[in-house]
Protein backbone atom coordinates (compact mmCIF):
# COMPACT_ATOMS: atom_id res chain seq x y z
CA UNK A 1 0.00 0.00 0.00
CA UNK A 2 1.33 3.42 -0.95
CA UNK A 3 1.36 6.02 1.84
CA UNK A 4 0.41 8.70 -0.69
CA UNK A 5 -3.39 8.87 -1.02
CA UNK A 6 -3.71 6.35 1.79
CA UNK A 7 -7.20 5.47 3.06
CA UNK A 8 -5.91 3.26 5.86
CA UNK A 9 -8.39 2.84 8.72
CA UNK A 10 -11.11 4.69 6.82
CA UNK A 11 -14.58 3.25 6.29
CA UNK A 12 -15.66 3.85 2.70
CA UNK A 13 -19.22 3.20 1.55
CA UNK A 14 -19.62 2.80 -2.20
CA UNK A 15 -23.05 2.51 -3.81
CA UNK A 16 -23.11 0.61 -7.07
CA UNK A 17 -19.76 -0.93 -6.21
CA UNK A 18 -20.53 -4.24 -7.87
CA UNK A 19 -19.66 -3.26 -11.43
CA UNK A 20 -18.12 -0.68 -13.75
CA UNK A 21 -16.78 2.52 -12.21
CA UNK A 22 -18.05 1.58 -8.75
CA UNK A 23 -16.16 -1.70 -8.82
CA UNK A 24 -12.94 0.00 -9.92
CA UNK A 25 -13.30 2.51 -7.07
CA UNK A 26 -14.01 -0.24 -4.53
CA UNK A 27 -10.96 -2.25 -5.56
CA UNK A 28 -8.62 0.76 -5.58
CA UNK A 29 -9.87 2.07 -2.24
CA UNK A 30 -9.34 -1.36 -0.67
CA UNK A 31 -5.83 -1.46 -2.12
CA UNK A 32 -5.18 1.87 -0.41
CA UNK A 33 -6.26 0.49 2.95
CA UNK A 34 -9.94 1.39 3.26
CA UNK A 35 -12.54 -0.93 4.71
CA UNK A 36 -14.92 -1.01 1.75
CA UNK A 37 -18.67 -1.38 2.22
CA UNK A 38 -20.37 -2.05 -1.10
CA UNK A 39 -24.04 -1.10 -1.29
CA UNK A 40 -25.42 -2.88 -4.33
CA UNK A 41 -28.75 -4.09 -5.69
CA UNK A 42 -27.10 -6.97 -7.54
CA UNK A 43 -25.97 -9.19 -4.67
CA UNK A 44 -24.00 -11.64 -6.85
CA UNK A 45 -21.96 -8.84 -8.43
CA UNK A 46 -21.18 -7.40 -5.02
CA UNK A 47 -20.11 -10.80 -3.68
CA UNK A 48 -17.75 -11.26 -6.61
CA UNK A 49 -16.04 -7.95 -5.86
CA UNK A 50 -15.69 -8.48 -2.11
CA UNK A 51 -14.36 -11.99 -2.68
CA UNK A 52 -11.66 -10.55 -4.94
CA UNK A 53 -10.81 -7.80 -2.45
CA UNK A 54 -10.71 -10.08 0.58
CA UNK A 55 -8.62 -12.69 -1.23
CA UNK A 56 -6.10 -9.92 -1.99
CA UNK A 57 -5.76 -9.14 1.73
CA UNK A 58 -8.12 -6.19 1.57
CA UNK A 59 -11.26 -5.78 3.66
CA UNK A 60 -14.69 -5.52 2.08
CA UNK A 61 -18.30 -6.28 2.92
CA UNK A 62 -21.44 -6.24 0.78
CA UNK A 63 -24.88 -4.91 1.63
CA UNK A 64 -27.82 -5.74 -0.63
CA UNK A 65 -29.91 -2.61 -1.04
CA UNK A 66 -32.12 -0.67 -3.44
CA UNK A 67 -30.82 2.90 -3.21
CA UNK A 68 -34.22 4.22 -4.31
CA UNK A 69 -35.65 3.09 -0.94
CA UNK A 70 -34.78 5.39 1.94
CA UNK A 71 -35.89 2.75 4.43
CA UNK A 72 -33.43 0.20 3.02
CA UNK A 73 -30.61 2.72 2.72
CA UNK A 74 -31.05 4.03 6.28
CA UNK A 75 -30.92 0.48 7.66
CA UNK A 76 -27.70 -0.23 5.79
CA UNK A 77 -26.00 2.94 7.04
CA UNK A 78 -27.13 2.25 10.61
CA UNK A 79 -25.68 -1.27 10.34
CA UNK A 80 -22.36 0.02 8.98
CA UNK A 81 -22.08 2.77 11.61
CA UNK A 82 -22.96 0.40 14.45
CA UNK A 83 -20.35 -2.10 13.33
CA UNK A 84 -17.47 0.20 12.43
CA UNK A 85 -18.34 3.19 14.67
CA UNK A 86 -17.65 5.73 11.92
CA UNK A 87 -18.26 6.44 8.23
CA UNK A 88 -15.45 8.41 6.61
CA UNK A 89 -16.17 8.29 2.89
CA UNK A 90 -19.30 7.94 0.77
CA UNK A 91 -19.06 7.48 -2.99
CA UNK A 92 -22.34 7.49 -4.92
CA UNK A 93 -21.86 5.38 -8.06
CA UNK A 94 -25.22 3.63 -8.30
CA UNK A 95 -27.06 4.79 -11.39
CA UNK A 96 -28.88 3.78 -14.53
CA UNK A 97 -29.00 5.14 -18.06
CA UNK A 98 -31.84 5.99 -20.40
CA UNK A 99 -31.97 6.84 -24.09
CA UNK A 100 -34.67 9.19 -25.29
CA UNK A 101 -35.72 12.74 -26.07
CA UNK A 102 -38.41 14.63 -24.16
CA UNK A 103 -41.27 13.31 -26.30
CA UNK A 104 -39.97 9.73 -26.26
CA UNK A 105 -39.45 9.62 -22.48
CA UNK A 106 -42.47 8.18 -20.72
CA UNK A 107 -43.51 9.19 -17.24
CA UNK A 108 -42.46 5.76 -16.02
CA UNK A 109 -39.02 6.16 -17.64
CA UNK A 110 -38.59 9.59 -16.05
CA UNK A 111 -39.61 8.39 -12.60
CA UNK A 112 -37.30 5.36 -12.78
CA UNK A 113 -34.29 7.52 -13.65
CA UNK A 114 -35.20 10.04 -10.96
CA UNK A 115 -35.67 7.40 -8.27
CA UNK A 116 -32.27 5.79 -8.82
CA UNK A 117 -30.03 8.61 -10.05
CA UNK A 118 -31.41 11.48 -7.98
CA UNK A 119 -33.32 10.04 -5.04
CA UNK A 120 -30.72 7.29 -4.67
CA UNK A 121 -27.95 9.86 -4.23
CA UNK A 122 -30.12 11.86 -1.83
CA UNK A 123 -30.93 8.72 0.18
CA UNK A 124 -27.28 7.74 0.56
CA UNK A 125 -26.16 11.24 1.52
CA UNK A 126 -29.09 11.47 3.94
CA UNK A 127 -28.03 8.15 5.45
CA UNK A 128 -24.42 9.26 5.93
CA UNK A 129 -24.66 12.92 6.84
CA UNK A 130 -25.83 12.47 10.43
CA UNK A 131 -22.87 10.25 11.29
CA UNK A 132 -20.43 12.59 9.53
CA UNK A 133 -21.82 15.57 11.46
CA UNK A 134 -21.26 13.76 14.77
CA UNK A 135 -17.70 12.96 13.69
CA UNK A 136 -17.13 16.54 12.45
CA UNK A 137 -15.48 15.09 9.35
CA UNK A 138 -16.29 13.13 6.21
CA UNK A 139 -16.00 13.06 2.44
CA UNK A 140 -18.81 12.64 -0.07
CA UNK A 141 -18.13 12.07 -3.75
CA UNK A 142 -20.93 11.82 -6.31
CA UNK A 143 -20.75 10.52 -9.87
CA UNK A 144 -22.27 13.03 -12.26
CA UNK A 145 -21.60 13.21 -16.02
CA UNK A 146 -20.59 15.53 -18.84
CA UNK A 147 -24.31 15.34 -19.66
CA UNK A 148 -24.84 17.79 -16.80
CA UNK A 149 -22.78 20.43 -18.61
CA UNK A 150 -23.47 20.02 -22.33
CA UNK A 151 -26.36 18.90 -24.46
CA UNK A 152 -26.11 15.26 -25.51
CA UNK A 153 -28.61 13.86 -28.03
CA UNK A 154 -31.29 11.48 -26.74
CA UNK A 155 -30.33 11.77 -23.08
CA UNK A 156 -33.15 13.96 -21.72
CA UNK A 157 -33.93 12.14 -18.45
CA UNK A 158 -30.36 11.03 -17.85
CA UNK A 159 -29.06 14.59 -18.28
CA UNK A 160 -31.74 15.85 -15.90
CA UNK A 161 -30.62 13.40 -13.25
CA UNK A 162 -26.93 14.22 -13.53
CA UNK A 163 -27.62 17.95 -13.43
CA UNK A 164 -29.42 17.32 -10.15
CA UNK A 165 -26.40 15.41 -8.83
CA UNK A 166 -24.15 18.41 -9.49
CA UNK A 167 -26.45 20.88 -7.76
CA UNK A 168 -27.01 18.56 -4.78
CA UNK A 169 -23.23 18.29 -4.49
CA UNK A 170 -22.80 22.07 -4.36
CA UNK A 171 -25.60 22.44 -1.81
CA UNK A 172 -24.18 19.80 0.53
CA UNK A 173 -20.67 21.25 0.22
CA UNK A 174 -22.00 24.68 1.19
CA UNK A 175 -24.24 23.55 4.04
CA UNK A 176 -21.77 21.28 5.88
CA UNK A 177 -18.40 22.91 5.35
CA UNK A 178 -18.24 24.01 8.99
CA UNK A 179 -18.81 20.42 10.11
CA UNK A 180 -15.63 19.35 8.34
CA UNK A 181 -17.50 17.58 5.54
CA UNK A 182 -16.26 17.88 1.97
CA UNK A 183 -18.49 17.13 -1.02
CA UNK A 184 -17.42 16.99 -4.66
CA UNK A 185 -18.51 15.27 -7.85
CA UNK A 186 -16.88 13.78 -10.93
CA UNK A 187 -18.27 14.20 -14.44
CA UNK A 188 -16.93 11.51 -16.76
CA UNK A 189 -17.47 11.34 -20.49
CA UNK A 190 -17.90 7.87 -21.99
CA UNK A 191 -16.26 5.12 -19.96
CA UNK A 192 -15.73 1.59 -21.26
CA UNK A 193 -17.79 -0.46 -18.81
CA UNK A 194 -19.80 -3.68 -19.25
CA UNK A 195 -22.84 -1.41 -19.69
CA UNK A 196 -21.36 -0.05 -22.95
CA UNK A 197 -20.71 -3.54 -24.29
CA UNK A 198 -24.25 -4.62 -23.38
CA UNK A 199 -25.74 -1.50 -24.96
CA UNK A 200 -23.91 -2.10 -28.24
CA UNK A 201 -24.83 -5.77 -28.31
CA UNK A 202 -28.51 -5.00 -27.72
CA UNK A 203 -28.82 -2.06 -30.10
CA UNK A 204 -26.24 -2.72 -32.80
CA UNK A 205 -25.89 -6.52 -33.18
CA UNK A 206 -23.15 -7.34 -35.64
CA UNK A 207 -21.95 -3.74 -35.67
CA UNK A 208 -20.39 -3.60 -32.23
CA UNK A 209 -16.77 -2.86 -33.31
CA UNK A 210 -17.79 -0.06 -35.68
CA UNK A 211 -20.13 1.56 -33.17
CA UNK A 212 -17.60 1.23 -30.36
CA UNK A 213 -15.07 3.07 -32.52
CA UNK A 214 -17.62 5.76 -33.36
CA UNK A 215 -18.52 6.35 -29.71
CA UNK A 216 -14.86 6.34 -28.72
CA UNK A 217 -14.06 9.09 -31.20
CA UNK A 218 -16.68 11.44 -29.75
CA UNK A 219 -13.99 12.20 -27.15
CA UNK A 220 -11.30 14.45 -28.68
CA UNK A 221 -8.65 12.29 -27.04
CA UNK A 222 -9.85 9.48 -29.34
CA UNK A 223 -10.93 6.81 -26.87
CA UNK A 224 -13.21 6.05 -23.95
CA UNK A 225 -11.93 6.24 -20.40
CA UNK A 226 -11.15 3.11 -18.45
CA UNK A 227 -12.92 2.66 -15.08
CA UNK A 228 -9.58 2.66 -13.27
CA UNK A 229 -8.89 6.19 -14.56
CA UNK A 230 -12.09 7.44 -12.95
CA UNK A 231 -11.19 5.53 -9.78
CA UNK A 232 -7.81 7.25 -9.58
CA UNK A 233 -9.45 10.69 -9.57
CA UNK A 234 -11.97 9.45 -6.99
CA UNK A 235 -9.11 8.26 -4.78
CA UNK A 236 -7.45 11.65 -4.86
CA UNK A 237 -10.65 13.54 -4.05
CA UNK A 238 -11.47 11.21 -1.15
CA UNK A 239 -7.95 11.25 0.30
CA UNK A 240 -6.47 13.65 2.83
CA UNK A 241 -4.30 15.07 0.06
CA UNK A 242 -7.47 16.74 -1.30
CA UNK A 243 -8.40 18.29 2.04
CA UNK A 244 -8.65 21.79 0.53
CA UNK A 245 -11.11 20.75 -2.19
CA UNK A 246 -14.87 20.96 -1.79
CA UNK A 247 -17.87 22.12 -3.81
CA UNK A 248 -16.30 21.24 -7.15
CA UNK A 249 -17.42 19.27 -10.20
CA UNK A 250 -14.43 17.63 -11.88
CA UNK A 251 -14.77 16.78 -15.59
CA UNK A 252 -12.74 13.75 -16.63
CA UNK A 253 -13.70 13.66 -20.27
CA UNK A 254 -10.81 13.41 -22.71
CA UNK A 255 -11.53 16.98 -23.78
CA UNK A 256 -15.22 16.38 -24.46
CA UNK A 257 -16.60 19.56 -22.89
CA UNK A 258 -14.00 22.12 -23.97
CA UNK A 259 -12.53 20.71 -27.17
CA UNK A 260 -15.61 19.44 -29.07
CA UNK A 261 -16.02 22.43 -31.39
3-state secondary structure 82-140: HHHCCCCEEEECCCCCCCECHHHCCHHHHHHHHHHHHHHHHHHHHHHHHHHHHHCCEEE
* Contact indicator for 191, 21 with CB cutoff of 8 Å: yes
Quick one: DSSP state of residue 32? T
At residue 232, φ and ψ (nearest 5 deg) are -65, -40
Q: Beta strand 138-143 with 89-92: parallel, antiparallel or unpaired? A: parallel
Quick one: DSSP state of residue 191? B
Active site members: 158
At residue 105, φ and ψ (nearest 5 deg) are -100, 115
Amino acid sequence: MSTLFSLENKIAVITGGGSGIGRAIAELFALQGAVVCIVELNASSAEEVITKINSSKGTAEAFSCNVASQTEVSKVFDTIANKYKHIDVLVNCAGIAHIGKLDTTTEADFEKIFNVNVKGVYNAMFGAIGFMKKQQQGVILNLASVASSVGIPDRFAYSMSKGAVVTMTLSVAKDYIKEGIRCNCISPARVHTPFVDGFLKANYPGQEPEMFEKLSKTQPIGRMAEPKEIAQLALYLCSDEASFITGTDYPIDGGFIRLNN
